[in-house]
Structures are given as structure tokens and as C-alpha cells.
Amino acid sequence: MRISDRDPVSHSEAARILGITAVAVLKGGRFSDRQQRRIDRIVEQARERENALRKNDK
């Protein structure tokens, strides 16, 4: 389930991003390269899923 019509990220994906962010905050407030890649991968997968859904709706 998406969070809103304008946001392709689901609640579970948002929770994963929040967890990664919380760890970054505890470790000094900056994302490591690995953390940033994980977030980028989550967002890209969400975009691909939403684009596929939009393509099928047409």
C-alpha cells in the first residue's frame, strides 16, 4: 500500500528507510555509502513498481 497518491513508497519501505535513518543518526548523523545505496535501491524498486502499474492502467 502506498502512503499517498504522489508517493510510490509503501509503508514497509518507509519503515525500512526510517530504520536506516535512525542508525545513521545514532552513528553521527551522516549516511554511509552503504546506507545510501540501500535507500536508493528501495526507492528505485518502488519507482519501477509504480511505473509498471501506471503502464498497465493505460
Distance CA 13, CA 21 (A): 12
What is the domain extent for residue 20?
A: 2-57
Cell numbers given for 58: 493505460
Residue 58 has pLDDT above 70, yes or no: no
Threshold 0.85, pTM exceeds = no
Question: Residues 6 or more apart from 14 whose CB is under 8 A from it?
Answer: 3
Highest mean pLDDT among 2-6, 29-33, 45-49: 29-33
How much is the pLDDT for 18?
A: 93
Q: What torsion do the CA atoms of 9, 12, 14, 19 make, to the nearest 10 degrees? A: -150
User: Based on the structure, what is the number of domains in the chain?
Assistant: 1
Residues 20-40: tens digit of each pLDDT: 999 999 999 899 999 999 999
